[in-house]
Amino acid sequence: MSSIILGFQTLNSFHPSQHVSMYSDDNELLNSSVFDYSSENYTPMNYLSNIASSFISTRTLPKDSGFLPPGVKCITDSYVVYERPPCVKNIFYSPYKASDADETNAYVYSLPIPWQLYIVQYSPDYLCSEVYMFFMDGPLNSLDQNIYMPALPNFYTNALLCRPMFSTMDEVTRYTQDISGVIASSYDWVWNNGTNNDLTEPLVHLILQNPEGKISSIVKQQKPLLFTDSRVSSTTYFNPDQVSLILLAWESLTLDDIMNYKWPNPSKFGHFGNSNMLSRYMEMDAYNDNLYQYLRHLIFDEESTYPTDSYIEDIIDNDDYSHAEYIEWLISSGIVDRISPEWIEKSTYIEFILNMKKSQLFKSSSFKLDYHNCSLNFFPQTI
């Protein structure tokens, strides 16, 4: 018999043939501000079924799950959700791209890590295929729990792990083909396959979103020129020296430090970037209304002569000016207000599920649920 775990209870022990049932008040769903089904003509029943079906299963899995570790939250026919408590982990970091990284040029950092939440997709033959990992302030106890970007190399800003590079399929298939094997494989993907310098944006946001944090303060004291505000933006790529300084600073923290640390908020997509922010400014009437005047005075300041109209038109047509500097001029001149960056918004567990469902990154489940069963299983009380 297979194991199905539903809800947010952390299990201290679990037998693979045990079935766990949990219950909750249906009013939690109806009173939740997260769900706005009226805009899409949804009823509570079909809305929740549509959103949650990828993460809920009331049927038996086709095979035994294997012995499961504590902290498993949810198992469906294609996903498993589990959490892990704070710990100290060794990070094997190679200051090279993945194509050039190997064990001989890796440096080891022992980092205190806060609570982690893993959302793992697996194939029909129980092979790990995608791993999302988030940092948390504590164990997962509610749908509105805040989740944070893991500030580690090799992660995208939506907490998706860049898949490890394996030389043979044996490294993928060596785990037991069951849920237990999927969990073990996904955990190894994150912690036991090394990390390299291809993706550094989460580390950038560790500094950018918490410039007063202990890690930021330490690195700015040691190498102020590498971490000035002008050098750190949402599109910055950290070099190996910057990454190493951050990991060394992090290594000096204690578990108590990281439990209360302000970790960066994740994005809804793989990268924050500023293309979306740029488009928001360019959609303002003030952007086009003042561009000609800005370029005219800018060129005069540089060349001590006013440019011709055709010269300015050529610059605009060729997009030969700094959008960022022009936007800063608009803001400093009081012409437009500064738009708050998208990363100031906190992200919650349920918002992640809603966004991933909307973006079709999660495979649609092959079964439907009614409102009663869905609310019982998706909104359980911790018992």
The pLDDT tens digits of the residues spanning 125-149 come to 888 889 999 999 999 988 889 999 9
Q: How many CB atoms lie within 10 A of CB 154?
A: 23
Around Cβ 285, how many Cβ atoms within 10 Å?
8
Residue 26: count of CB within 10 angstroms of its CB: 15
- Nearest Cα to Cα of residue 342 among 205, 163, 229, 232: 205
For residues 357 and 34, the model is more confident at 357
pLDDT in tens, 293-348: 999 999 998 888 899 999 999 999 998 998 888 988 998 999 998 887 777 888 89
Q: Evaluate whether 74 touches 374 at the Cβ level (below 8 Å).
A: no
Q: Above pLDDT 90, what percent of the chain?
A: 39
pLDDT band at 196 (very low <50, low <70, confident <90, very high): confident
- Asked whether the beta carbons of 109 and 247 are under 8 A apart, the reply is yes
The pTM of this model reads 0.69
Give the chain's largest Cα–Cα span: 83
Q: How long, in residues, is the chain?
A: 383
- Three-class SS state of 80: strand
Closest residue by Cα to residue 249 from 112, 138, 102: 112
* The token pair that represents 348 in the structure block: 């919650």
Q: What is the pLDDT of residue 103?
A: 65
